[in-house]
């Protein structure tokens, strides 16, 4: 039995739900108040994998910032995975997430990337079309999540843990 430790960076526009997804996953909580992230916040959770091994995901959550700023090299340094987050009710947040991925690739060419399209509980207000998601799924794993209801949240982090362990 061994526990491997991996750094995972949350990336996405202001207000998409990065901090809320971490809170849901690590503490099983949700708040509808905007939780201003100051600087960088680090949280972690251990995941048991089939076969007895465990993986510890160390989640780095950066303060709300516009996607026009490239993620800093010190934020990304040593990351094994990137969790890109978009807000399904804001089409523009999807381009922001993909932009951030492109910008991160120069310092992290090999990191495993997944996309969470969040706020699934507001599906009737989604601007992101199913066809767009289908197209994106050809290049990276895409999950639909809700930090509010918890839908899809375990699945997205389980995918990261499984792929990093593989």
The CA distances from residue 21 to 7, 40, 109, 132, in Å, are 16, 15, 25, 22
In whole angstroms, the minimum distance from the beta carbon of 20 to ligand GDP comes to 3
Helices 18-27, 153-165: crossing angle, 10 deg rounding: 80
In whole angstroms, the minimum distance from the beta carbon of 36 to ligand GDP comes to 8
Under the binding rule (CB under 6 A), the answer on residue 90 touching ligand GDP is: no
Between residues 49 and 158, which has the closer beta carbon with respect to ligand GDP? 158
In whole angstroms, the minimum distance from the beta carbon of 79 to ligand GDP comes to 17
- 148 CB-near residues (< 8 Å, 6+ apart): 20, 30, 32, 119, 121
Between residues 14 and 45, which has the closer beta carbon with respect to ligand GDP? 14
| List of residues contacting Mg ion (CB under 5 A) | 18-19, 37
């Amino acid at each position: 039995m061994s526990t491997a430790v991996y750094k995972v960076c949350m990336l996405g526009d202001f207000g998409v739900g990065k901090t809320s997804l971490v809170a849901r996953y690590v503490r099983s909580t949700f708040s509808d108040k905007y939780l201003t992230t100051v600087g960088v916040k680090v949280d972690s959770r251990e995941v048991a994998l089939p076969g007895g091994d465990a993986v510890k995901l160390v989640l780095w959550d950066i303060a709300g910032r516009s996607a026009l700023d490239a993620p800093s090299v010190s934020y990304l340094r040593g990351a094994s995975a990137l969790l890109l987050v978009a807000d399904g009710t804001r089409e523009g947040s999807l381009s922001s997430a993909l932009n951030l991925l492109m910008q991160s690739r120069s310092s992290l060419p090999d990191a495993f990337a997944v996309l969470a399209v969040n706020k699934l509980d507001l599906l009737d207000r989604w601007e992101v079309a199913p066809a767009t998601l289908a197209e994106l799924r050809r290049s990276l794993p895409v999950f639909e999540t809700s930090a509010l209801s918890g839908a899809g949240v375990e699945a997205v982090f389980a995918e990261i843990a499984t792929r990093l362990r593989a």
